[in-house]
Amino acid sequence: MRDALEINGRRLAARLESLGEIGALPGGGVCRLALSEEDRQGRERVLAWMRELGLEVSVDAMGNLFGLRPGLEAVPPVMTGSHIDTVRTGGLYDGNLGVLAGLEVVETLNDAGITTRRPLCVAAFTNEEGARFAPDMMGSLVYVGGMPLEEALATRGIDGERVGDCLEAIGARGDAPVGAPSVHAFVELHVEQGPVLEESGVTIGAVEKVQGISWTEFTFTGTSNHAGTTPMRLRHDAGYAAMATATFVRELVTRIGGDQVGTVGSLEIAPNLVNVVANHARFTVDLRNTCNQRLQQAEEELADFVERLAVQEGIQVEHRTLARFDPVPFDAAMVDRVEASARALGHSVMRMPSGAGHDAQMLARVCPTSMIFVPSVGGISHNINEFTAFHDVEAGANVLLQVLLDLSE
């Protein structure tokens, strides 16, 4: 460990604020949906910083950004990074912290005149959120070879636009081959986005695993009819079915208990009028569990419920898997490294799972990987009020610095 070396927290906070200006929302927070005009501007700013710091910049055909800092040896780099896309009502920290802390580590090493043995690489992966184009973690999934590039480019978003067209439209499609540069190890700094660290009074989370994720879109098709004249026995109500399913999801996950969570976060019904029985409903279900068996149980029970409900109500149902990822354990030695570095810097640290999805879970397919979490005030995230205290941002970035130095020697 290099005791004297510390990142510059003010400089990191200034970059977080600066990036947060792009897509800033009136009440605070950010809307920088993947491959939007705001994403284009965010990419420009990050690329400009990478170049100012002397990094060798490359952009692959999926729009993933990489900034390489050469080492003494021309071997695969130690990589860090995250994403700069946000949900529609996002905060300043989700993803952005991981990318900008990587840049801050680079600047710290530049200032100190340190050349590491292995190269370092800071990455910003395309469309981590999946809020516009499913699945989430799309850029890192393609990077590790988990999804063919062509399939990703052909994916249509919630607005009907194709990933490939949007990449072209914002000039984000690069010419570096997908999968380059190859990676020696990956570590991602991220805000926890949940309440555990704050409630435990602990500064650093050494992330041991990411829970499994299951996203399904359901579409019910019924018959629209007059809300006053249609007897209940003659209804084929797609709106009722959607809302009954949402209620079932809450009951299901409560019954399964433990880590099981479930969310109906998107719902549209048509014609969406006070006096018309809805003939159309489309909604999403997000189910997550650290235990894959329990997650499968939840998926099966939900599928059974929906089938029975459609028969009872005399409506059609279609479903489409938007994302399905098993739980991902991180490399034990990498988790140890995070924990040891945090302790060596005098921080309280606990091992924990991640409730959110992260690019690191994709990188774990190809190299030893772990994550560093810092507390989210009030456990709030995917919300414009997402906030992490300055001293925690600083602590997390210093742990990142030490882990990267350690891995690159």
Contact residues for Mn ion, defined by CB under 5 A: 94-95
Is position 192 an interface residue for ligand GLV (rule: CB under 6 A)? no
CB-nearer residue toward ligand GLV: 107 or 359: 359
Query: Measured from the CB atom, is 136 or 394 closer to ligand GLV?
Result: 136
Nearer to Mn ion, 94 or 392 (CB): 94
| Rg (the chain; Cα; Å) | 22
Q: Which residue has the tokens 């602590």?
A: 395
Does position 129 interact with ligand GLV (CB under 6 A)? The reply is: yes
Partner touching 42 among Mn ion, ligand GLV, none, CB below 5 to 8 Å by kind = none
Which of 281, 338 has the CB closer to Mn ion?
A: 338
Task: Check binding of 136 to ligand GLV (CB under 6 A).
Answer: yes
Query: What does the H/E/C string look like for 25-89?
Result: CCCCCECCCCCCHHHHHHHHHHHHHHHHCCCEEEEECCCCEEEEECCCCCCCCEEEEECCCCCCC
Comparison of 176 and 196: residue with beta carbon closer to Mn ion: 196
Smallest distance, Å, CB 378 to ligand GLV?
17
299 binds, among Mn ion, ligand GLV, none (CB under 5 to 8 A by kind): none
Identity of the residue numbered 232? M
Start-end of H helices in 327-370? 332-344, 359-363
Smallest distance from Mn ion to CB 278, Å: 31
Q: Tell me the C-alpha distance between 139 and 130, whole Å.
A: 10
212 contributes a contact to ligand GLV by CB under 6 A: no
Give the nearer residue to Mn ion in terms of CB position, either 63 or 95: 95
DSSP string, 177-223: PTT-S--SEEEEEEE--SSHHHHHT-SEEEEEEE-EEEEEEEEEE--
Give residue 395's identity as a one-letter amino acid code: A
Q: Least distance in Å: CB of 95 to ligand GLV?
A: 8
Q: Which is nearer to ligand GLV, 104 or 129 (CB)?
A: 129
Taking CB under 6 A as the criterion, which residues in 319-358 touch ligand GLV?
Answer: 356-357
Burial class (CB in 10 A: 0-12, 13-18, 19+), 306: buried
Alpha carbon 37 to its chain centroid, in Å, reads: 19
Query: Total residues at the site for ligand GLV (CB under 6 A)?
Result: 4
User: Any contact of residue 67 with ligand GLV (CB under 6 A)?
Assistant: no
CB of 170 to ligand GLV, least distance (A): 21
Q: Minimal distance in Å, beta carbon 8 to Mn ion? A: 23
| Smallest distance from ligand GLV to CB 136, Å | 5
- Closest separation in Å from C-beta 5 to Mn ion: 27
Write b or e for each residue in 45-81: b if 16 or more Cβ atoms lie within 10 A of its Cβ, otherwise e. Answer: ebbebbeebebebbbbbbbbbbbbbbbeeeeebbbbb
Packing angle of the helix pair 9-20, 37-52 (nearest 10 deg): 150
Dihedral of CA 110/71/391/131: which sign? positive
- Residue 364 is encoded by which pair of tokens? 């774990």
Indicate the residue among 280 and 294 with the shorter CB distance to ligand GLV.
294
Cβ of residue 355: shortest distance to ligand GLV, in angstroms? 8
By a kind-dependent CB cut-off of 5 to 8 A, residue 357 interacts, out of ligand GLV, Mn ion, none, with ligand GLV
74 Cα distance to chain centroid: 31
386 forms part of the interface with ligand GLV (CB under 6 A): no
Residues that bind ligand GLV (CB under 6 A): 129, 136, 356-357
